[in-house]
A and B are shown apart, each in its own frame.
Chain A
Amino acid sequence: MATDNTRTVTAPAAPTTRRVVMGIREAADLEELELPSETMPLNMGPSHPAMHGTVRMVLEVEGEKITSADVQVGYLHRCFEKESEFATYTQIFPYTDRLNYVSPMLNNVGYAMAVEKLLGIEHKVPERAQFIRVIAGEMSRITDHLTCLGAGAMELGAFTPFLYAIKFREWLWELLEELSGARLTHSFVRIGGVAGDLTEGFCDKLRDVLRRGREVMSDVDKLLTRNRIFRDRMDGIGLITKEDCCAYGITGPMARASGLAYDIRKDHPYLVYDRFDFDVPIGSVGDNFDRFAVRLEEMQQSLRILEQAMEKIPAGPVMLDDPRVALPPKSETYNSIEAMISHFKLIMDGIRVPAGEVYSFTEGGNGELGFYIVSDGTGRPWKCRVRPPSFANTAILGKILPGLFIADVVPTFGMVNMIGGECDR
């Protein structure tokens, strides 16, 4: 019979006996007595175990429901701009490392390109150096996304995917350490090229890491994507529309999760990105899960770029041969007075950048990473502004948090992926 498969659900019958509460009043009388409806302020952060990054959120809650949220950033402000105004153009590289400290290479590249535009040498950078920048940058993008996904899952109680993701991230960092000498703060890019060539057997090691990495990502995917608990906390939470993304200036994976197909690597190709075949994943809903899925897919696309870059990388120099920006070789420096003076001038006075202004933008780990540099013709910038993607991305929290529950703050904040160093500079 057809009725076998269907199940009718009826509401439970109302209790027939009269309920007595607290032994004094009857339930019917209680309805007139409302609980006090005043809201309660709740302080989350600046240091909170379920949130990475130092940010303070002053929530106004009604029971478990958030009615308003005041997100306060700035706890990691380290005067990037002020320090930059007193540093030579080369000395700023270590500062850029500490902006988005999970993808320092991308910041290095973005900053170097801005200065190169001011110098008018952006098309003269050797091709091999551009390929190395792409390789190092895409590795950094993967580490950025791995950190976001791993930490986001961990904050929801899924500790295993976090360990897997961090394992893969560590392999990549070991390779970047081999390349640059530093595990985290690489300062590997130079104005006019990169600090050094790929090390012996780098590509083979990277291929091996990528092969193992694919397995790790497949494991993370299996552990999370169809995980009921994970999905329940991610699906439909923290919705952001495409229009809001534009108005708030949200870029990167967050904007793409909301369906805004804006990827600078595709829309305004820089370096050699126009030579690679890769896709830009787009979300359809714009919730936390979409932001997770877009990042997961973007890592796959980064792997594709890396594989193509390793195939196509040409031989040649990795530093522009221009005495205005490149230090003379050490053998020259120690043996000729001209090279010695040139070395001294470049170190002490810095690279002389012609007066002018430039806004250069690249695709960072979290979105459009822009550098707006005002030069007055000396060796130090008049102003060196970084347009932090995290700052714009975090600003929308004040809009999407009201209406959610306190527990929803954790995955929403995790998928916004605010990096304190970049947001607060």
Chain B
Amino acid sequence: MAQLVLDRLKERFTAGEILETGSQHGNEWARVRREDWKAVCQFLRDDEATQMNMFIDLTCVDRFGREPRFDVVLHVYSTDKKHRVRLYGGASEEDPTIDSISSVWVGANWFEREAYDLYGIRFQGHPDLRRILMYPEFVGHPLRKDYPKEKRQPLVRRDPGRVD
């Protein structure tokens, strides 16, 4: 259904920019080179044929053991054409940065803050990159696969005399 979107992307961008496309379970997806992340988003929103005007979701997947380790996952939708597409943008462990797209779809603002909070992805050009679900004193990024599930960081210290 959204094959049209993938065709448009392949027309407009080279194979070095759109690395891979595919379709699974009715979801069309494209893997985008990190440097072109924002340009591809801008194109999808403004192009007459795609008109991806609605922001749906942005999150991250930790593909522990693979390089690049993180995939920033974006879902967008077109309210006129009624098609949607998923984009992956890779970010490595040493340098987990990618361009912020909150200037393309302003709704990405909070979702990028969440991805930063839980995965430690730094979105360059984000207007206000703070933690959103965890508290500011929290150390680490809890949804990373190497963050132990049992690890606790209570804000209230049980033993007032103890110094950690």
Residues on A facing B (Cβ under 8 Å): 72-74, 77, 79, 81-83, 85-86, 117-118, 120, 243, 246-250, 260, 262, 267-268, 356-359, 361, 368, 370, 372, 374, 382-383, 385, 387, 391-392, 395, 424-425
In the complex, which of the residues A117, A247, A387, A424 contacts B25, with contact meaning CB atoms closer than 8 Å? A117
Q: Which residues of B contact A357 (CB under 8 A)?
A: 24-25, 27, 29
In the assembled complex, B134 has its CB within 8 A of some CB on chain A: yes
- Taken residue by residue from 127 to 162, chain B's Cβ proximity to chain A (1 for < 8 Å, 0 otherwise) reads as 000011111000000110000010000000000000
Known pairs A250-B107, A395-B110; list 11 more (Cβ under 8 Å). Answer: A74-B135, A79-B142, A249-B105, A356-B24, A357-B25, A357-B29, A370-B75, A372-B57, A372-B75, A385-B59, A395-B109
Q: Which of A73, A247, A387 contacts B75 (CB 8 A)?
A: A387
A359 to B106, CA, bound (A): 22
User: Looking across the interface, which residue of chain A has its beta carbon closest to that of B57?
Assistant: A387
- Once the chains bind, are B107 and A395 in contact (CB under 8 Å)? yes
Q: Out of A77, A374, A383, A392, which one reaches B110, CB within 8 Å?
A: A392
| Contact A374/B61 with A246-B79, A247-B106, A424-B133 known, Cβ cut-off 8 Å | yes
CB distance from A63 to the nearest CB of B (A): 26
B54 CB-CB contact with A under 8 Å: yes
Q: Is the CB of B105 within 8 A of A74?
A: no
19 pairs, A vs B, C-beta closer than 8 Å: A72-B132, A77-B133, A77-B134, A247-B55, A248-B105, A356-B25, A357-B24, A357-B25, A368-B56, A370-B56, A372-B59, A372-B75, A383-B62, A387-B56, A391-B110, A392-B110, A395-B107, A424-B133, A425-B133
Residues of chain A with a CB closer than 8 A to B54's CB? 246-247, 249, 262
Residue among A243, A248, A356 with the highest chain B CB neighbour number at 10 A: A248
Give the distance to chain B from A259, nearest Cβ to Cβ, in Å.
11
Q: Across the A-B interface, how many residue pairs have beta carbons closer than 8 Å? A: 94
Chain A residues near B24 (CB, 8 Å)?
Answer: 356-358
The verdict on B38 contacting chain A, using a C-beta distance below 8 Å, is no
| Interfacial chain A residues near B56, Cβ < 8 Å | 249, 361, 368, 370, 387
With a cutoff of 8 Å between Cβ atoms, the chain B residues found around residue A247 in the complex are: 53-55, 105-107
Q: Which residues in A have their C-beta under 8 angstroms from that of B110?
A: 391-392, 395
Q: Give every chain A residue within 8 A of B53 (Cβ-Cβ).
A: 243, 246-247
Given A372-B73, A372-B75, are A358 and B25 neighbors across the interface (CB < 8 Å)? Answer: yes
Q: Beyond A79-B142, A359-B27, is A249–B134 a contact (Cβ under 8 Å)?
A: no
Closest to B80 in A: A246
Contacts of B79 in A (CB 8 A): 246, 260, 262
The smallest C-beta distance from A255 to any residue of chain B, in angstroms, reads: 9
User: Does B31 have its Cβ within 8 Å of any Cβ on chain A?
Assistant: no
- B86 touches which of A117, A260, A359, A392 (Cβ 8 Å): A359
Closest residue of chain B to A358, judged by CB? B25
Measured CB to CB, the closest approach of chain B to A197, in angstroms, equals 29
Most buried by B among A73, A249, A359, A424: A249
Bound together, the chains give a CA A246 to CA B27 distance in angstroms of 20
List the A side residues contacting B16 at CB < 8 Å.
none
Q: Bound state CA distance, A392 and B56, in angstroms?
A: 8
* B8 adjacent to chain A (CB < 8 Å): no
Q: B132, A74: Cβ atoms under 8 Å?
A: yes
Chain B's nearest CB lies how many Å from the CB of A76?
Answer: 9
Complex-state Cα separation, A108 to B5, whole angstroms: 31
Known pairs A262-B79, A392-B107; A118 contacts B55 (CB<8 A): no
CB-based nearest B residue for A72: B132
List CB contacts (< 8 Å) of B3-25 with chain A. 24-25
| 10 pairs of A and B residues whose beta carbons are closest in the complex | A248-B107, A249-B107, A249-B55, A74-B133, A387-B57, A358-B25, A246-B54, A395-B110, A77-B133, A246-B53
**Distance A356 CA – B110 CA, assembled complex (angstroms):** 27
Report the bound CA distance from A117 to B25 in whole Å. Answer: 6
CA distance A395 to B113 in the complex (A): 11
List the B side residues contacting A356 at CB < 8 Å.
24-25
Does A82 contact B132, Cβ atoms closer than 8 Å? Answer: no
Closest to B53 in A: A246
Residues of A within 8 A of B133 (CB): 73-74, 77, 424-425
Chain B residues whose C-beta falls within 8 Å of the C-beta of A73 in the assembled complex: 132-133
CA distance A383 to B59 in the complex (A): 11
B102, closest chain A residue (CB): A247
Contact residue among B82, B114, B142 (Cβ-Cβ distance under 8 Å from A267) = B82
Which residue on chain B has the smallest CB distance to residue A244? B106
Q: Which residues of B contact A385 (CB under 8 A)?
A: 57, 59
A66–B29 CA distance with the chains assembled, in angstroms: 42
CB distance from B137 to the nearest CB of A (A): 13
List, in ascending order, chain B residues with CB within 8 A of A243's CB. Answer: 53
Could you tell me the distance in whole angstroms from the C-beta of B31 to the nearest C-beta in chain A? 12
| Contact assessment for A82 and B149 in the assembled complex, using a CB-CB cutoff below 8 Å | yes
